[in-house]
């Protein structure tokens, strides 16, 4: 809107000096030369005298000076009338300013300012101090009005943040693991995530799209703001303009953080919050960082670039001052989390926070030039990384030191196994982050994992997170082996181990863990389950099978001692019934493993029983009370084996339900 002539369109005196003949052109050129010298009044007068001596057409220069002074005065009169009238007509209620009531009035007002600024830029020769003082006074009055209007327009045209629509732009990823079953000691209870029914969820949000943007200020107001900013900066009021803008927009960003659920909390206040409410605040923080930087601060940067396009320094200072409060509030919360008490349940949220801040860091680096804020952001990111590593170590230590002494009823999967496997299953989603955080750590976790140099070389080729998880699962296995000794029955120890190791194998095989740990880990542990199954058969059935051997019966099948035979059958029946009574209360959760165990038992027990019956059963059959000793047929035993490992102890008399 700035004009370039010294003759105002606001006055009635007309034109802009184009082509009134050669004399006029010479006079205009002389005036331009003198004005460009920007010297004192006396020097300008001397220059004009010198010029007049060269060309008699300049002899009337004194008339020109007088005429130009009168023109300046008339410009001021017209501009003053508009500025003072508008200023005196301003309502006392700032929120009801008349600036927006008439677009025409605002244009006239800005045009009047342009005329005064042009006048000050192009003051002709010998202006009297009165003209200069009047012009500067009018600029001060106008700038006061513009400063106030600038703030009002910013406030009135701020667009409220629609958080719900932005949340919809964040892809939600829900990762879940089963809640604990059974009891566990208080120290280990912290391994759980927030429970919803029987499943625990850990919800992550993916990054926002780079093209996502929202209007922070109504579009139609942006050019009005730019127009005011241009005049204020031209008038030397850049600092005041930037202060108004950053003050209003800081408050607007604070309000946005409130809408996003981020509260102003001190480090001490954050560290006093219980885990469940803290977890919710950390989740909101993650969303707020993504939206705050990718949407709000990007938008603020665009606004500053447009509104303050006339000054690089104003653009930079304005954005830094506007963004600083919002960023420091977010960074202070993250710092409080990073230096807070470390406990395993916090790991996923800390990793979420680390990923979120790391994801927006390139944007911060490109936008924020305030060294203090940038260094704070860098320090907080590093602090979150250290907290994540330290929390992972806490988790490893908790697995190693978990010492609950109550055996699980029926030999079922221990809560420790469930928590650890579901915990590490979630960690896979953070593999890239953890690999970068653990990259330079020592390889102490390899100790005890390798049996030979070849296996160590193979382990060293794995990623950092793979090595740590292998070490962690090895620790879990050692802990489970220790817990198996809580069962007095040796056979039960192997059922417990099989249940837990198979659960681990299934979790690895049916998840992304298989890509980290590899097929070899699965094959190795399936072989371990087979070894436990063989050990179970030996521990559970050796005594019963020993009753079906020929030794100690007293001769061949024809002359064997009936007393010894009766004792053998009686002992076998007692052993079988005891096993049946106990092991129907044991539980093998996996149907395939349960069936494989039953088949293995049948292949061991039934052939031996049939053979023994075939050789010696006839000597007791037909005798007195024969049914007392030969209580079961091989088919009866096979039917009873179906009841094993169902987890429901059966009453002893059920043993006779089929044979009777």
Q: What tens digit of pLDDT does each residue of 364-413 get?
A: 999 999 999 999 999 999 999 999 999 999 999 999 999 888 899 999 99
In-domain check, residue 239: yes
In-domain check, residue 602: yes
The model's pLDDT over 115-133, given as tens digits with 9 standing for 90+, comes to 888 888 776 544 567 778 8
In-domain check, residue 27: no
In-domain check, residue 268: yes
Same domain, 386 and 242: yes
Q: Are 166 and 215 in contact (CB under 8 A)?
A: no
In-domain check, residue 119: no
Same domain, 528 and 611: no
Same domain, 556 and 515: no
Of 515, 539, 563, the residue at which a domain comes to its end is: 539
* Phi-psi domain of 625 (left: phi exceeds 0; alpha: psi -120 through 50; beta: other): left
Alpha helices in 292-370 (DSSP H): 298-307, 312-338, 347-367
Same domain, 331 and 251: yes
Q: Strand 172-178 relative to strand 195-196: parallel, antiparallel, unpaired?
A: unpaired
Same domain, 535 and 637: no
Same domain, 517 and 555: no
Q: Are 300 and 292 in contact (CB under 8 A)?
A: no
Q: Are 501 and 529 in contact (CB under 8 A)?
A: yes
Residue at token pair 């799209």: 209
Alpha helices in 439-489 (DSSP H): 453-460, 464-484
Q: Which residues on adjacent β-strands are paired with residue 646?
A: 587
Burial of residue 318 (CB within 10 Å: 0-12, 13-18, 19+) is buried
Helix axes 371-401, 415-427, angle to 10 degrees: 150
- Residue 402 has phi, psi (to 5 degrees) of -65, 120
Q: Quick one: DSSP state of residue 201?
A: E
Q: Are 2 and 118 in contact (CB under 8 A)?
A: yes
> What's the Cα-to-Cα distance from 131 to each of 126, 505, 550, rounded to whole Å?
10, 92, 133
Q: Of 79, 36, 65, which is closest to residue 127 (Cα–Cα)?
A: 65
Of 485, 506, 539, the residue at which a domain comes to its end is: 539
CATH number, domain of 620, equals 1.20.1280.170
Residue 65 CA to its chain's centroid (Å)? 71
In-domain check, residue 583: yes
Same domain, 561 and 426: no
At CA 250, angle to CA 249 and CA 256, rounded to 5?
85
User: Taking the CB of residue 487, how many other CB atoms lie within 10 A of it?
Assistant: 18
pTM across the whole model: 0.78
Residue environment code for 146-169, b if the CB has 16+ CB neighbours within 10 A, otherwise e: bbbbbbbbbeebbeebeeeebeee
In-domain check, residue 472: yes
Q: Of 624, 631, 657, 642, which is closest to residue 568 (Cα–Cα)?
A: 631
Domain hosting 461: range is 415-440+453-539
Instruction: For the chain, list residues with pLDDT below 50.
Output: 1-9, 11-20, 27, 37-41, 60-67, 89-97, 125-126, 171-200, 446, 448, 452-454, 653, 656-660
Same domain, 363 and 243: yes
Q: Are 347 and 391 in contact (CB under 8 A)?
A: yes
Residue at token pair 């930037």: 242
Same domain, 531 and 576: no
Q: How far apart are CA 499 and CA 322, in angstroms?
A: 59
Same domain, 251 and 354: yes
Q: What is the pLDDT at residue 9? A: 43
Q: What is the DSSP string of 503-539?
A: HHHHHHHTSTHHHHH-HHHHHHHHHHHHHHHHHHHHH
Q: Of 259, 268, 283, 256, which is closest to residue 332 (Cα–Cα)?
A: 268
Same domain, 251 and 301: yes
User: Would you state the structure tokens that stand for residue 77, as one six-digit string?
Assistant: 């009169």
* Phi-psi domain of 600 (left: phi exceeds 0; alpha: psi -120 through 50; beta: other): alpha
Same domain, 382 and 496: no
Q: How far apart are CA 271 and CA 339, in angstroms?
A: 9
In-domain check, residue 94: no
Q: How many domains does the chain have?
A: 3
Residue 407 CA to its chain's centroid (Å)? 38
């Amino acid at each position: 809107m700035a004009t370039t002539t010294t003759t105002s369109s606001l006055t009635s005196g007309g034109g802009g000096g184009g082509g009134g003949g050669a004399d006029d052109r010479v006079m205009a050129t002389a005036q331009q030369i003198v004005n460009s010298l920007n010297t004192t009044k006396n020097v300008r007068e001397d220059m004009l005298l010198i010029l007049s001596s060269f060309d008699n057409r300049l002899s009337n220069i004194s008339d020109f000076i007088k005429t130009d002074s009168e023109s300046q005065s008339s410009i001021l009169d017209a501009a003053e009338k508009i500025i003072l009238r508008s200023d005196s007509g301003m309502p006392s209620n700032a929120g009801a300013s008349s600036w927006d009531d008439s677009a025409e009035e605002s244009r006239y007002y800005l045009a009047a300012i342009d005329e005064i600024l042009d006048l000050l830029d192009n003051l002709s020769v010998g202006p009297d101090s009165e003209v200069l003082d009047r012009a500067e006074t009018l600029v001060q009055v106008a700038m006061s009005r513009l400063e106030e209007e600038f703030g009002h327009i910013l406030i009135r045209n701020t667009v409220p943040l629609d958080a719900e629509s932005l949340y919809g732009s964040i892809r939600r990823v829900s990762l879940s693991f089963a809640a604990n079953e059974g009891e566990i000691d208080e120290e280990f209870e912290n391994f759980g995530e927030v429970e919803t029914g029987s499943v625990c969820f850990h919800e992550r949000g993916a990054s926002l799209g780079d093209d996502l943007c929202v209007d922070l200020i109504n579009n139609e107001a942006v050019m009005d703001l730019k127009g005011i900013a241009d005049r204020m900066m031209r008038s030397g009021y850049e600092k005041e303009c930037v202060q108004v803008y950053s003050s209003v927009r800081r408050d607007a960003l604070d309000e946005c953080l409130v809408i996003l659920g981020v509260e102003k909390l001190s480090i001490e206040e954050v560290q006093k919050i219980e885990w469940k409410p803290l977890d919710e605040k950390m989740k909101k923080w993650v969303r707020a960082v993504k939206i705050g930087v990718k949407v709000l601060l990007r938008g603020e940067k665009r606004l500053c670039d447009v509104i303050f396009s006339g000054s690089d320094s104003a653009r930079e200072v304005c954005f830094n001052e506007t963004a600083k409060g919002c960023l420091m509030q977010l960074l202070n919360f993250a710092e409080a989390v990073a230096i807070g008490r470390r406990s395993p349940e916090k790991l996923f949220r800390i990793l979420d926070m680390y990923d979120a801040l790391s994801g927006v860091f390139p944007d911060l680096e490109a936008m924020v030039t305030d060294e203090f804020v940038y260094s704070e952001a860098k320090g907080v990111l590093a602090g979150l990384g250290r907290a994540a590593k330290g929390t992972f170590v806490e988790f490893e230590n908790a697995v190693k030191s978990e010492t609950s002494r109550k055996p699980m009823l029926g030999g079922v999967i221990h809560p420790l196994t469930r928590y650890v496997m579901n915990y590490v299953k979630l960690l896979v989603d953070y593999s890239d982050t953890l690999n970068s955080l653990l990259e330079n750590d020592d390889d102490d976790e390899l100790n005890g994992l390798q049996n030979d140099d070849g296996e160590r070389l193979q382990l060293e080729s794995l990623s950092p997170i793979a090595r740590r998880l292998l070490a962690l699962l090895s620790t879990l296995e050692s802990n489970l082996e220790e817990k198996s000794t809580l069962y007095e029955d040796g056979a039960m120890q192997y059922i417990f181990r099989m249940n837990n190791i198979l659960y681990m194998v299934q979790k690895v095989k049916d998840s992304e863990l298989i890509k980290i740990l590899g097929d070899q880990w699965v094959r190795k542990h399936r072989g371990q389950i087979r070894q436990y199954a063989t050990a179970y058969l030996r521990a559970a059935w050796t005594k019963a099978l020993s009753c079906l051997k020929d030794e100690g019966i007293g001769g061949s099948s024809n002359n064997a001692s009936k007393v010894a035979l009766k004792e053998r059958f009686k002992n076998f029946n007692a052993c079988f019934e005891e096993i049946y009574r106990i092991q129907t209360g044991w539980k093998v959760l996996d149907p395939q493993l349960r069936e494989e165990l039953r088949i293995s038992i049948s292949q061991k027990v039934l052939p031996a029983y049939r053979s023994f019956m075939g050789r010696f059963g006839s000597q007791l059959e037909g005798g007195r009370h024969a049914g007392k000793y030969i209580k079961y047929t091989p088919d009866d035993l096979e039917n009873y084996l179906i009841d094993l490992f169902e987890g429901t102890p059966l009453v002893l008399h059920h043993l006779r339900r089929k044979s009777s």
